[in-house]
Amino acid sequence: MSSIKDRQRAAARARLEKEMAERAAAAKSRRRKQAIIGSALAVVVVAGAAVWIVSVLKKDDKKSTANAAGTVACSWTPEDKTTGGPGIKDTGGTPPTTVPNVGKATLTLDTALGVITAAVDKSKSPCTAAAFEYLASKKFWDNTKCHRLTTAGIKVLQCGDPTATGKGYRETDGQGGPNFKYAEENLPLGQDPTYPKATLAMARTQTPGTTGSQFFIVWGEDIKADSLPAEYTILGTVTKGMDIVDKVGKAGSDNANGQGDGHPKLEVNIKTLTMAAA
């Protein structure tokens, strides 16, 4: 027979996945499109010109390699209110399809409770970092608040819903996101704990490839693999302000979803969220 703690963990995980799945419940099933780019080059030369052509091709190969170094291709799947629900916020575009996969950045949450910063490694989660840079440039998260806190089973503070604004909470809080979604990356496969304390990771629905703007910060204790599997992108690690997150966690939730799962009693109002090169 499972222990009370085991049941709490299972319940907390189920509620987390249920909330992450709500926005996708209204979506039409569709396959993600993948672009396959191929090319072939046939060269027929006379013996006297062969050496010159081979030399030119080698130079072109070196040039292409140099241009491609330090970048990676990202796919952004369109999302709108019809497919993703009323919480979708249109940004008027999407991030670039080719983004850097080198360098580091600092994510800064300027909240009414103080500043929280996280270190981001673009080599590990380049597409997610690019999405954050793009959304931050649109002031996507400004004047929003963290809408969810869990205090049993798994301990996370969840933020990033653009519709979670103002005083009080709405039934739709937790269902908002941008006009695009994308694939998960930098998953802690084979690791236990999967999400150590101070990890900043991305929320998604039960369907792969549905990462958007919502994220969670692990507080209190590490999250073990049997409590939350390695299915959520790790974007970074909190380097400053974990005392703020822990303070919010210890203040508790309103238990709106039962067993310590609900809205944080101590509200976290995000004044601005920015991304800058480290």
The residue-averaged pLDDT of 246-251 equals 98
| Domain range 73-277, CATH architecture | Beta Barrel (2.40)
CB hemisphere CA count around 161 (13 angstroms): 30
Residue boundaries of the structural domains of the chain: 73-277
Task: Assess whether pLDDT exceeds 60 at residue 20.
Answer: no
pLDDT in tens, 198-239: 999 999 999 999 999 999 999 999 999 999 999 999 999 999
| Phi, psi (rounded to 5 degrees) for 110 | -95, 105
How far is residue 187 from each of residues 50, 51, 91, 215, 251, measured CA to CA in Å?
Answer: 48, 47, 27, 14, 30
pLDDT of residue 188: 98
pLDDT of residue 66: 36
Model pTM score:
0.79
The residue-averaged pLDDT of 42-52 equals 32
Cα separation, 152 vs 221, in Å, equals 11
pLDDT of residue 204: 95
Task: Assess whether pLDDT exceeds 60 at residue 278.
Answer: yes
pLDDT in tens, 73-122: 999 999 999 988 999 999 999 999 999 999 999 999 999 999 999 999 99
The residue-averaged pLDDT of 127-137 equals 98
- The pLDDT > 90 percentage for the chain reads 68
pLDDT of residue 170: 66
The residue-averaged pLDDT of 26-52 equals 32
Burial class (CB in 10 A: 0-12, 13-18, 19+), 38: exposed
